[in-house]
A and B are shown apart, each in its own frame.
Chain A
Amino acid sequence: MSIFKALTTGFKLTWKYKRIVVLLYMLTFVLSACIAFPLKNLIEVTVGKSLMIKDLVKGVDYQFFNDFNNTYGLGLIPVFDQSITVLMLFFLLFVFFSGGVISVFINDHPESYKKFFWRKGAHFFFRFCRLAFYFSIIHLSLLGMFFLVFYLSINGEMQNEGTISFALKVISPFYYLAAVLIFMWQDYSKVFLVKSDKTWIFQSMFPALKFIKSNFLKVYGLYLLNMLFWFVLIYLNFRITLLIKFTSGSAILLAFLISQVFVLSRLSLKLINLGSVVDLYSQK
């Protein structure tokens, strides 16, 4: 039962280095607040004294957003531009931290992990950047391939629009299973890269692929299990949000706190996944 052992190890590693999870969580919190505050200020300055503001407590008020967009819509452009910049920044920071996380998990020295975390993050940063770039291309190619299959399946004389939904229903699971393979390959490549410390990226990508091939059932099973957890978290988050009746500030605060728990959980899951990947790699 090496899958469950790996998973347990992933949990243990994540718990052991929970400060890294908190750091990553704080990163999302601070950066998202940097984007959300200008939006809040924009609303406050332009329409903050309108009685219509209270209608926003219940959720989306189309009339408000429509009139706001028509009158003050230009103010939203810098907010969205800033969002894109901050998201790009987060992406780069996460690339940086990924090298540190995997190095910490592989070496597993709790007493000196902080120094290790930052140093290795910097050490592997550019290679992880390249890796993320190559895998983005692979992901896009895969998406393009499945889109082509989808397009060909609905092209020509379609009997009815049900063909579109049927094709989507049939193709989506296959895409999902294939995409999981790529994500998995990417994670193992990172582990191989940190372990071997090779400059040439492909020297990590190909051994990772070889490793996946020889341990396919185990590594794929583990990955699907992790993905299942991910879906369960998203679903739970959605269902719980629906249960809250937004009528007061305390309800908003409660919903926000719950959503933060889920953000933290999803980040933890990411690290649990990396931890379990490291463990499976170590079992080879």
Chain B
Amino acid sequence: MSIFDIMKLITTLLFVFICFCLSATAQDKRFKTALSKRTANYDISLVLNTELKEVDAKQQLTFKNPSDDTIWSMPFHMYYNAFKNNKTTFFTEASGIMSRKSQEDIIEGTWSWIKIYEIVDEAGNDLIDSLIYISPDDGNIDDQTVLYLKLKNPVLPYQTYKIDMKWKSRIPKSGIRTGYNRNYYFMVQWFPKLGVYEPAGSRFANKGQWNCHQYHANTEYFGEFGVYNVEMIVPEDYIVAASGFLVKEEERGSQKSYTYLAEDVIDFAWTANPDFIEVVEEWEGIEIKLLVMPEHECNKDRFFKAAKHTLSFFEDYIEKYPYPTLTIVSPPYYGLFSGAMEYPTLFTAPTLCIMPPNIRTTETLTMHELTHQYFMQMLSTNEQEEAWMDEGFTAFFEAKMMDIYYPEGVFFFDYLNINLGSQEFRRGRFFAADNIKIGPMSDFGWKFRHGGHREIVYGKAAIMLKTLEGLVGELCMQDIIQTYFQRWKFNHPCRQDFIDVVNEVVPRYHNKFGNDMNWFLDQAIYGTEECDYSVKSVSNSKLTEKLGFFKNTDNPVLPSEKSAEILYESKAVLYRNGEFIVPQDVKIVFDNGDVIIEFWDGKSRSHDFTYKGNRKIVSVEIDPYMKIPLDKNLINNSYTLKPDATGIWRIFTAFMTWIQGIMVTMSTLV
């Protein structure tokens, strides 16, 4: 045996060993028992053509009928057709998008699409003629984002059904959420994806039905749990990351194939870019992978720290993150169209190399998008119909975590002691909206046609949950979330399921709210009214003794000679200015140091607390423990008869100094 042969043998053995290790690692990452029902499972093999910006794929869908219904049709999301022309529902709703599409692209007709060109069922029936586009939401005939397939053989109750298809797509350039720019590809909502079958009794379904909405500007996606086995063939110099974990990596001439497996997820996302740097860290057995541009690598610790804080928080608060991998994609600046998007086990969180450490958007976005793994991914609510159930919960937890782990705030600056907490920032953004009464949280996302979607589904929902926590207490709130999660994880809960959990848990902790919390949740979820309580006035008037005729007109009661103790009638008058009713704690402080906490059910338009005695009220404060951030004006929640003007002088002197500074600077122009 020559040296060459020995080397060859060693190389072969080494290769076999590496393959074995890889396969063993991949095997280890598979779940021993399924976490979900795995209703819609996909085997996809695709080729990315970076010259033509196209994807050519073959796909096998294995659908398990989750009901005792016989199903005769299947709808598919064809999201890329949202970018097919300027009259799609997406383009019509997002009127600003056209202005972002370059004139050159419009003139050259650079539009995107996805089309199925071959489709057969498991019996070998060619179904290509059974496909039609439908527009269930608005009847728009120019919108082709939902493809309806009429089956030749039905899917029988609880049966498994396979469909094979071949399809092709043109990738949108700098689309919203998905697409490419230069050599960066962010491939999400990219394949013909089956709608969600809702058996009778699940969510809002009275009878078995498909849930498959068109692609709207405001809304993202909703999907069925399943296993995705996806092979991506890309140019050899591209770095790829995807949902799930890598099971196979192969050189294929000038191309490279990556196979990823994602189990018990509702969608599959992937990204490719030759310039990415891959940084991997581990946290309690979870592989955290960061794909970052070289110029953003300096911020890698910020991503990892925030991700680990989030994982740690949820391990304590709800349950440990169950997936073996977590991928954070930090897009290049020209890929910001894909920024801040959440997909199963993979999300994007943009950063900038010029981002100073006292602006914590990198951390906020990491925490926010990672929280979506719980609220929307594991608890798979319908984002299109009830966006507040993922964005609101996520914003609530993001603010909570940011205030715990980054107490300096999301933005802080020593000058003027600026320290902007995450919670107050969320609240501020909501109340600064043009119209906070524009629509109820329960509205479908695309019903917010005149704005307010973000403010309501993020801001109002997060503040509503914070108010709920304030009312019922942190322990009770954690119990609510835990119960909700344990009951509905890897399933599709709707708002009523959450409401039921609240109404089940709260009475175990409190009896002061009645039989249920509907009085609060109905106002918050289905109502549009605002909450505002104020202290109208505080007065202390001397009590006068009885003088004059009372029982008869013969003997008037005259002033008594002895010097009586001065007694006061002290009164605090409170107003309910808004229509939203919440019970309130009221703190009343007296001049002798006494402090009383009163309870007001908050129902009447006005209310007073009156005391008689030798003490005078000094100050009154509604909601002294700041339990109700839903109150739109916290300034008028308190009233004092001994105002301390020091704070006003601070503003006065600072403002005066700034004006003087401007004047002196102006003098240089003279």
Residues in A lying within 8 Å of B, measured CB to CB: 28-29, 31-33, 35-37, 39-40, 43-44, 47-60, 62-64, 66-71, 83, 86-87, 90-91, 94-95, 98, 128, 132, 135-136, 139, 157-158, 160-162, 164-165, 183, 238, 241-242, 246, 248-249, 252-253, 255-256, 259-260, 263, 266-267, 270
Given A160-B333, A160-B353, A128 contacting B670 (CB threshold 8 A) = yes
Q: Tell me, rounded to whole Å, the shortest Cβ–Cβ distance linking A7 to chain B.
A: 18
> Across the interface, which residues of B come within 8 angstroms of A242, CB to CB?
414-415
> Which chain B residues (397-452) contact chain A, with CB distance < 8 Å?
414-421, 424-425, 427-428, 431-432
Contact A59 B664 (CB under 8 A): no
Binary interface encoding of chain B residues 284-295 relative to chain A, with 1 for a CB under 8 A from any of its CBs, else 0: 000000000101
Cα distance A62–B425 in the bound complex, in angstroms? 8
Given A58-B417, A66-B428, A53 contacting B645 (CB threshold 8 A) = yes
Contact A50 B639 (CB under 8 A): yes
Contact A249 B667 (CB under 8 A): no
Does any Cβ of A come within 8 Å of B638's Cβ?
yes
Cα distance A242–B415 in the bound complex, in angstroms? 6
The closest CB in chain A to the CB of B537 belongs to A49
Binary interface encoding of chain B residues 639-667 relative to chain A, with 1 for a CB under 8 A from any of its CBs, else 0: 11101111111111101110111111011
Contact A39 B651 (CB under 8 A): yes
> Across the interface, which residues of B come within 8 angstroms of A48, CB to CB?
643, 645, 648
Q: Tell me, rounded to whole Å, the shortest Cβ–Cβ distance linking A24 to chain B.
A: 8
Q: Tell me, rounded to whole Å, the shortest Cβ–Cβ distance linking A88 to chain B.
A: 9
Contact B635 A33 (CB under 8 A): no
Given A59-B417, A63-B428, A266-B664, A256 contacting B653 (CB threshold 8 A) = yes
Residue from the list A94, A157, A246, A260 in contact with B650, Cβ < 8 A? A246
How many pairs, one residue from A and one from B, have CB atoms within 8 Å of each other in the complex? 191
The closest CB in chain A to the CB of B431 belongs to A70
Cα distance A161–B420 in the bound complex, in angstroms? 26
> Which chain B residues (162-183) contact chain A, with CB distance < 8 Å?
182
9 A-B residue pairs with Cβ-Cβ distance under 8 Å, sorted by A, are A40-B649, A50-B635, A50-B640, A53-B644, A55-B647, A56-B647, A94-B663, A256-B653, A263-B660
Residue from the list A56, A66, A67, A90 in contact with B648, Cβ < 8 A? A56
The closest CB in chain A to the CB of B538 belongs to A49
Contact B659 A83 (CB under 8 A): yes
Contact A162 B663 (CB under 8 A): no
Does any Cβ of A come within 8 Å of B244's Cβ?
no
Contact B655 A39 (CB under 8 A): yes
Q: Tell me, rounded to whole Å, the shortest Cβ–Cβ distance linking B453 to chain A.
A: 20
Known: A35-B655, A57-B647, A63-B634. 17 other contacts (CB 8 A): A36-B652, A40-B648, A43-B648, A51-B619, A52-B637, A53-B648, A58-B417, A59-B416, A60-B418, A60-B419, A71-B636, A91-B670, A165-B353, A183-B668, A242-B414, A260-B660, A270-B667
Residues in B lying within 8 Å of A, measured CB to CB: 182, 293, 295, 332-334, 352-354, 414-421, 424-425, 427-428, 431-432, 619, 621, 632-641, 643-653, 655-657, 659-664, 666-670
Contact A66 B432 (CB under 8 A): yes
Contact A94 B666 (CB under 8 A): yes
Cα distance A128–B420 in the bound complex, in angstroms? 45
Residue from the list A28, A67, A259 in contact with B635, Cβ < 8 A? A67
The closest CB in chain B to the CB of A267 belongs to B664
Q: Tell me, rounded to whole Å, the shortest Cβ–Cβ distance linking B621 to chain A.
A: 6
Q: Tell me, rounded to whole Å, the shortest Cβ–Cβ distance linking A90 to chain B.
A: 5
Cα distance A69–B633 in the bound complex, in angstroms? 10
Residue from the list B636, B649, B660 in contact with A50, Cβ < 8 A? B636
Contact A44 B633 (CB under 8 A): no
> Across the interface, which residues of A come within 8 angstroms of B619, CB to CB?
51
- Interchain residue pairs A-B with the least CB separation, the first 6: A59-B417, A56-B647, A51-B638, A32-B659, A66-B428, A36-B656
> Across the interface, which residues of B come within 8 angstroms of A33, CB to CB?
656
Cα distance A255–B428 in the bound complex, in angstroms? 29
Contact A52 B416 (CB under 8 A): no
Cα distance A69–B428 in the bound complex, in angstroms? 10
Q: Tell me, rounded to whole Å, the shortest Cβ–Cβ distance linking B293 to chain A.
A: 7
Given A47-B635, A59-B417, A54 contacting B647 (CB threshold 8 A) = yes
**Residue of B621, B641, B645 with most chain A CB atoms under a 10 A cut-off:** B645
Q: Tell me, rounded to whole Å, the shortest Cβ–Cβ distance linking B85 to chain A.
A: 28
Q: Tell me, rounded to whole Å, the shortest Cβ–Cβ distance linking B191 to chain A.
A: 30
Residue from the list A32, A67, A249 in contact with B649, Cβ < 8 A? A249
> Across the interface, which residues of B come within 8 angstroms of A128, CB to CB?
670
Cα distance A139–B668 in the bound complex, in angstroms? 12
Given A47-B636, A49-B643, A83-B659, A161 contacting B653 (CB threshold 8 A) = no
Cα distance A36–B655 in the bound complex, in angstroms? 6
Contact A241 B635 (CB under 8 A): no
The closest CB in chain A to the CB of B657 belongs to A259
Cα distance A164–B416 in the bound complex, in angstroms? 28
Q: Tell me, rounded to whole Å, the shortest Cβ–Cβ distance linking B296 to chain A.
A: 8
Given A57-B647, A62-B425, A94-B670, A32 contacting B417 (CB threshold 8 A) = no
Cα distance A59–B668 in the bound complex, in angstroms? 29
Contact B644 A66 (CB under 8 A): no
Given A60-B418, A135-B669, A263-B657, A249 contacting B646 (CB threshold 8 A) = yes
Contact B638 A162 (CB under 8 A): no
Q: Tell me, rounded to whole Å, the shortest Cβ–Cβ distance linking A95 to chain B.
A: 5
> Across the interface, which residues of B come within 8 angstroms of A158, CB to CB?
333-334
**Residue of B332, B621, B651 with most chain A CB atoms under a 10 A cut-off:** B651
**Residue of A50, A53, A59 with most chain B CB atoms under a 10 A cut-off:** A50
Given A36-B652, A52-B635, A90 contacting B417 (CB threshold 8 A) = no
Cα distance A29–B353 in the bound complex, in angstroms? 42
> Across the interface, which residues of B come within 8 angstroms of A37, CB to CB?
652
Contact A71 B649 (CB under 8 A): no
Cα distance A98–B669 in the bound complex, in angstroms? 11
Cα distance A25–B666 in the bound complex, in angstroms? 14
Q: Tell me, rounded to whole Å, the shortest Cβ–Cβ distance linking B573 to chain A.
A: 13
The closest CB in chain A to the CB of B667 belongs to A94
Cα distance A35–B651 in the bound complex, in angstroms? 12
The closest CB in chain A to the CB of B182 belongs to A157
Cα distance A28–B665 in the bound complex, in angstroms? 11
> Across the interface, which residues of A come within 8 angstroms of B647, CB to CB?
53-57
Q: Tell me, rounded to whole Å, the shortest Cβ–Cβ distance linking A154 to chain B.
A: 11
Q: Tell me, rounded to whole Å, the shortest Cβ–Cβ distance linking B109 to chain A.
A: 22
Contact A43 B643 (CB under 8 A): no
**Residue of A36, A37, A44 with most chain B CB atoms under a 10 A cut-off:** A36
Contact B295 A70 (CB under 8 A): no
Given A69-B432, A90-B666, A54 contacting B646 (CB threshold 8 A) = yes
Cα distance A32–B668 in the bound complex, in angstroms? 18
> Across the interface, which residues of B come within 8 angstroms of A39, CB to CB?
651-652, 655
